C-alpha cells in the first residue's frame, strides 16, 4: 500500500513518495551536531527516544521522550548533548507567516481533546501552518472517514491496521502513514493495548475534524 511504510523505511514521506506538503524523517544523534537551518520550511520535532540538550533560536532546551518543538524557517537549532537521541522531524513546505520563532512543549503538559470512537489527543508545538499532535487510540475500529487536511502519521506505540479502499496494511511502532486530503480511510487498533500516534497535518486545525464518506461531519 503506497500510503503506508513499514518500520525502518528510508527515506520516509516526502515529494519523492508523493507527499508534497511535508518531508518526514527520523534524525539520530549520539553527540553534538552542527547547526541546522532551513531557509524555506518550518520544522516540527518530536523526541522518539533517548535524551539530550538542544539550542533553538539560541535558547537551551532539555530533550526527553515526548518533548515536542517548533522551529520557524530561518531559525537555527542544534543538538549540544545527546544520548541515543532519536527525533522525528517534519518539514512543512511553503509555510505561512507567524510571530512565534520557536517553542518547546512536553506531551504531558499539552492541551487535551476528544475525537471520534473514544479517541483522545494532545496538541503539541504551535505552528501557524500545521498542527502537531499525539493521538491515543483505544482498541477497536473507527468508522471509515476522511479529512480535509493533508497528514503524515508516525506510530509511536501499539499494533493495528490501516484500511484504505479494500486494502489493509499492518501498523506497528515505527510505521508511517501519509493521508492526502479527501482519502477515505480507517485506522484500527487491534490491541491488546492503547495505540499512540504522532500526527502532523495542514492546514492547521483540530484533529477531531473528520467526515464520513458521504460528506457528513463525523460525530463524537
Q: From first to last of the 220 residues of the chain, give the pLDDT tens digit.
A: 899 999 988 889 999 999 999 999 999 999 999 999 999 999 999 999 999 999 999 999 999 999 999 999 999 999 999 999 999 999 999 999 988 999 999 998 888 888 776 789 999 988 999 999 999 999 999 899 999 999 999 999 999 999 999 999 999 999 999 999 999 999 999 999 999 999 999 999 999 999 999 999 987 6
- Cα 82 to chain centroid distance, Å, stands at 22
Does 23 share its domain with 63?
Answer: yes
Same domain, 27 and 102: yes
> Where a domain ends, among 70, 92, 107?
107
* Domain limits for position 136: 111-202
- DSSP bridge partners of 36: 77
Phi first, then psi: give them for residue 131, nearest 5 degrees. Answer: -110, 130
Asked whether residue 196 falls in the same domain as residue 122, the answer is: yes
pTM of the model: 0.95
Q: Tell me how many domains the chain contains.
A: 2
- Examine the domain organization and report whether 35 and 82 are in the same domain: yes
Q: Is residue 131 part of a domain?
A: yes
Residue 167 located in a structural domain:
yes
DSSP structural state of residue 145? B
With respect to residue 3, please indicate whether it lies within any of the assigned structural domains: no
Consecutive H or E run containing 106: strand 102-106
Last residue of a domain, one of 107, 139, 156: 107
Asked if residue 149 and residue 196 are part of one domain, the reply reads yes
d(CA 36, CA 31): 14
Amino acid at each position: 500500500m503506497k500510503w503506508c511504510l513499514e518500520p525502518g523505511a528510508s527515506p520516509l514521506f516526502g515529494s519523492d513518495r508523493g507527499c508534497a506538503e511535508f518531508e518526514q524523517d527520523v534524525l539520530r544523534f549520539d553527540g553534538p551536531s552542527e547547526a541546522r537551518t532551513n531557509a524555506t520550511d518550518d520544522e516540527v520535532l518530536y523526541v522518539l527516544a533517548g535524551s539530550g540538550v538542544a539550542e533553538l533560536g539560541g535558547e537551551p532546551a532539555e530533550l526527553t521522550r515526548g518533548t515536542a518543538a517548533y522551529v520557524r524557517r530561518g531559525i537555527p537549532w542544534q543538538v549540544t548533548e545527546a544520548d541515543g537521541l532519536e527525533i522525528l522531524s517534519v518539514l512543512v513546505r511553503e509555510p505561512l507567516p507567524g510571530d512565534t520563532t520557536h517553542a518547546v512543549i512536553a506531551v504531558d503538559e499539552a492541551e487535551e481533546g476528544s475525537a471520534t470512537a473514544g479517541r483522545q489527543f494532545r496538541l503539541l508545538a504551535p505552528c501557524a501552518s500545521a498542527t502537531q499532535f499525539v493521538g491515543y487510540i483505544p482498541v477497536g475500529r473507527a468508522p471509515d472517514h476522511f479529512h480535509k487536511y493533508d497528514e503524515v502519521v508516525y506510530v509511536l506505540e501499539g499494533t493495528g491496521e490501516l484500511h484504505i479502499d479494500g486494502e489493509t496494511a499492518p501498523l506497528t511502532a515505527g510505521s508511517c502513514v501519509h493521508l492526502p486530503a479527501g482519502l477515505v480511510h480507517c485506522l484500527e487498533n487491534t490491541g491488546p493495548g492503547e495505540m499512540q500516534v504522532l500526527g502532523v497535518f495542514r492546514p492547521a486545525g483540530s484533529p477531531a475534524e473528520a467526515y464520513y464518506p458521504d460528506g457528513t461531519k463525523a460525530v463524537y
